[in-house]
Structure 1
């Protein structure tokens, strides 16, 4: 069975919204971490807001390795309306998101990523379909913004890995314990 892996950039106080506001440095360890995460994925679930923002940026970007990955990977978008922007390999999720992801997990393939989509990550965590959290935590307090884990029910996690990057960001991976 495929794994659902949530990869998020957070401030120390748990804010996931607008990470460019609290990440001042991106170093080689963070780059290697992201490369390892996306190398294992062949599908991505995005929320409508992230899709619209990213569809306006990534198709013309040369920021590697993510640009090549996100432009080529199958993208499933949680949206109740048709997409405003066309982007290669993007499909609107028909029906219930959680049911869709459960079915996708049972199909052949590699890991399924959730990137930047706070509401999608929360919904999938609350429904118990997330297998791993891969977090990059900036050495900064955002002070305000949407938090990734706010409002979730209790979820038990098991630490898989933790390390500190040269610029002080924490790279932490957790497995969701059923």
Structure 2
């Protein structure tokens, strides 16, 4: 069985859209692409080195695949080695479309059942990059083993969020954390079941509280 890790750059308000550049994903008129590079931090490179230490396989949504496929096979200079490594890696693309997947070692998946089958197979561990739409259904299905979040000290206000519509409630267990000199916080989390609940030790029984609850119920 393969381990499935989701790794994402996120802002303090949970936005993960277009961290790498202004043209990466301007969907919804998002105009703050490239926000990661305005901060940077020495804590990031070691984490990325661990995440992209072969062997690994990528699990991508179609939009992220298109972004990667238009960039990494053609990159030159100091990033050419990373481009070659990504080209050599398995790339499993979740899509219901029939567009060709021309980047070498790319494979089509048509939904959660196919991801579950892939996860149960032998092969390198799976790493999600980008692909915000994958997180809600994968968390609902219990298929994510670990989250690695690189949280930057910025508030973006708008944009695609890591925990978007359809994300189920649940608890997380903190496995590790690191703090960079510029305020980037790297955390590793494992899903930990349902949110623990406890009875309120001193519930209010005052008439004022009853009236407050009545007003809230009526939308006042």
Q: Fold match, TM over 0.5?
A: yes
Which residue, 174, 180, 185 being the options, matches 1:170? 185
CA–CA distance in 2 between the matches of 1:40 and 1:92? 21
Q: If the length of structure 2 is used for normalisation, what is the TM-score?
A: 0.74
Greater gyration radius: 2
Q: For residues 3-52 of structure 1, give each alpha carbon's deviation from its aligned partner in whole angstroms, at most 9, with x where no partner exists.
A: 11001110110001111332113344201101101216521111111111
Query: Which structure has more RCO (C-alpha within 8 Å, separation ≥ 6)?
Result: 1
Gaps spanning 5+ residues in structure 1: where? none
Which residue, 85, 99, 108 being the options, matches 1:92? 108
Query: Which residue of structure 2 aligns with residue 31 of structure 1?
Result: 45
Contact 1:79–1:92 under 8 Å retained in 2: yes
Q: How many residues align?
A: 176
Contact 1:83–1:92 under 8 Å retained in 2: no
Query: Which residue of structure 2 aligns with residue 19 of structure 1?
Result: 19
Query: Which residue of structure 2 aligns with residue 156 of structure 1?
Result: 171
Query: Which residue of structure 2 aligns with residue 3 of structure 1?
Result: 3
Query: Which residue of structure 1 aligns with residue 96 of structure 2?
Result: 80
Query: Which residue of structure 2 aligns with residue 124 of structure 1?
Result: 138
Q: If the length of structure 1 is used for normalisation, what is the TM-score?
A: 0.90
Q: Secondary structure at the match of 1:53?
A: helix
Q: Secondary structure at the match of 1:68?
A: helix
CA RMSD of aligned residues (A): 1.8
Task: Single out whichever of 60-69 and 162-171 deviates more from structure 2.
Answer: 60-69
Query: Which structure 1 residue ranges, 4+ long, deviate > 6 Å from structure 2?
Result: none
1:145 aligns with 2:168: no
Structure with a larger share of its residues in strand: 1
Gaps spanning 5+ residues in structure 2: where? 21-32, 194-220
How far did 1:64 drift?
A: 6.4
